[in-house]
Amino acid sequence: MSQLLLRGRVLTFIDAPKNIDDTAAYSYFEDGAVLIENGKVARVGEYATLARVAGPQAEIVDHRPHLILPGFIDTHLHFPQTQAIASYGAQLLEWLNTYIFVEEQKFSSSAHANFIAGRFMDELLRNGTTSAVAYCSVHPESVDAYFAAAEKRNMLMIGGKVMMDRNAPEGLRDTAQTGYDETKALIAKWHGRGRAHYAISPRFAITSTPEQMEMSRVLVREHPECYVQTHLSENRDEVAYATSLYPAAKDYTDIYADYDLLGEKMLLGHCIFLSDREISVLAETRSVAVFCPTSNLFLGSGLFDRDRFQKLGARFSVATDVGGGTSFSMLETMAEAYKILHVQGQRLTPFASYYMMTLGNARALGLEDRIGSLHAGADADITVLDSRAKPAMELRMRTATTLAEELFVLQTMGDDRSVAEVYVAGKPMKSGLDKHPFLDGPARSPADLQIA
């Protein structure tokens, strides 16, 4: 049996914090430790206790004074958009047509898909994210690349091929039948293999015909074990266009409801312009709305109204939505979430933020027994945070007196540099990345750039 004992300040959540003083919502050990046996958390507690429990051959890694938390979870992003982050000047539909539908065509090449998939996983890890839910491109090769890269790193990843059979360039369209057949084959190949989970992924109502939506219904009925993901009500022009394509639907949400796609495995990106009726339908079906702060600001989409979801009892999670989102960092994502809520008069406490990135997102995925908190039996996916990683943070931290304040500094000023180490199933990953950052795949030299 291999044993690893991580020493540091350990923080893990037990429940959603009700307010900033809700100390019952989390466990915090100032001189704490996580004992890992064969890739799983065996115990969490005081270092002095666990040092006695661990065998004499246990490897001890001292992360003091850093914070040890569960690995972050990102519940919505697009792996083929890794090189399209920061595409200038357009809102959703124009942005998709101008940049994204050009970029995603490159993923018909397995070589390209493999290169980007590797770099994508490494970028998640560099930012302390150990699990994520991603859209691949329409090409089955992109799904193979995605899950192979995750498997190589032993990461718990969820994903699937986008299905899209209209309103996209020919090179990105499947058909209702090929979308169904390819999805079936990919589920058979990947779902449940190692730590892989499949997500049935009709991109959104605009790029799927009623025939493809019908096939999505069949897929969801035949594979209740799989996740389902799509986009809902992100942008006003999108809402108008989607509802015009499905005139019999009461509203945008009703399009997906009509095809029986809603349910507790359904992740709906964005959910900004929903009526109370629509949010109530999400609540009744236990569907999850995915809040994507950096994307919603970058694409000029709108402001997610968290308090209305809470009031109506609907579930929600948080995500980067790279490449509409501008950062792989969940810390930077929560910094923008704070501002989006603040501008609406809503408050996001530091503890609520860290809950959302970890246990909250794990619960949204129904995976809280495996990831999102450090409890005996959980997979040892762990992030180690350094709140003094940048000079300005170090200076700011000299005035911090509470854990809440430190977490807020980390969220507001932190990024990948604040992630001192990340463990996937008990194996350290970040130190290796930093030693060999750019070894694989084609790079473009600055001389190749055409600067107008």
Name the residue nearer to ligand GUN (CB basis): 183 or 208. Answer: 208
**Residue 20 vs 86, nearer CB to Zn ion:** 86
From CA 361, how far away is CA 371, in angstroms rounded?
9
Q: Using omega within 30 degrees of 0 as the cis cutoff, is the peptide bond preceding 426 cis?
A: no
| 120, burial (CB in 10 Å: exposed 0-12, middle 13-18, buried 19+) | buried
Q: Does 269 bind Zn ion (CB under 5 A)?
A: yes
Q: How far is CA 164 from CA 144, 221, 230, 238, 286, in A?
A: 18, 19, 11, 16, 25
Task: Show the DSSP H helices in 89-139 as ranges.
Answer: 92-95, 101-103, 110-126
Query: How far apart (Å, rounded) are the C-alpha atoms in residues 189 and 179?
Result: 15
161 binds ligand GUN (CB under 6 A): no
DSSP state for residue 357 in the 8-state scheme: I
Name which of ligand GUN, Zn ion, none residue 105 binds, using a CB cut-off of 5 to 8 Å depending on partner kind.
none
CB of 345 to ligand GUN, least distance (A): 26
Give whichever of 138 and 407 is closer to ligand GUN, judged by the CB atom.
138
- Rule CB under 5 A: is residue 414 a binding residue for Zn ion? no
Nearest residue (CB) to Zn ion, 234 versus 278 = 234
DSSP assignment letter at 326: S
Binding of residue 324 to ligand GUN (CB under 6 A): yes
Check residue 144 for interaction with ligand GUN (CB under 6 A). no
To Zn ion, the closest distance from the beta carbon of 299 in angstroms equals 10
Binding map of ligand GUN across residues 12-51, x = CB under 6 A, - = no contact: ----------------------------------------
Least CB distance from residue 120 to ligand GUN, whole Å?
A: 15
CB 409 within 8 A of CB 393: yes
Is residue 234 part of the contact set for ligand GUN (CB under 6 A)? Answer: yes
Which among ligand GUN, Zn ion, none contacts residue 306 (Cβ within 5 to 8 A by kind)?
Answer: none
Give the whole-angstrom CA distance, residue 121 versus residue 341.
29
CA distances from 111 to 106, 118, 189, 194 (A): 10, 11, 20, 23
Window 289-308: residues binding ligand GUN (CB under 6 A): 295
Residues that bind ligand GUN (CB under 6 A): 78, 92, 96, 100, 203-204, 231, 234, 295, 321, 324
Residues that bind Zn ion (CB under 5 A): 269, 321
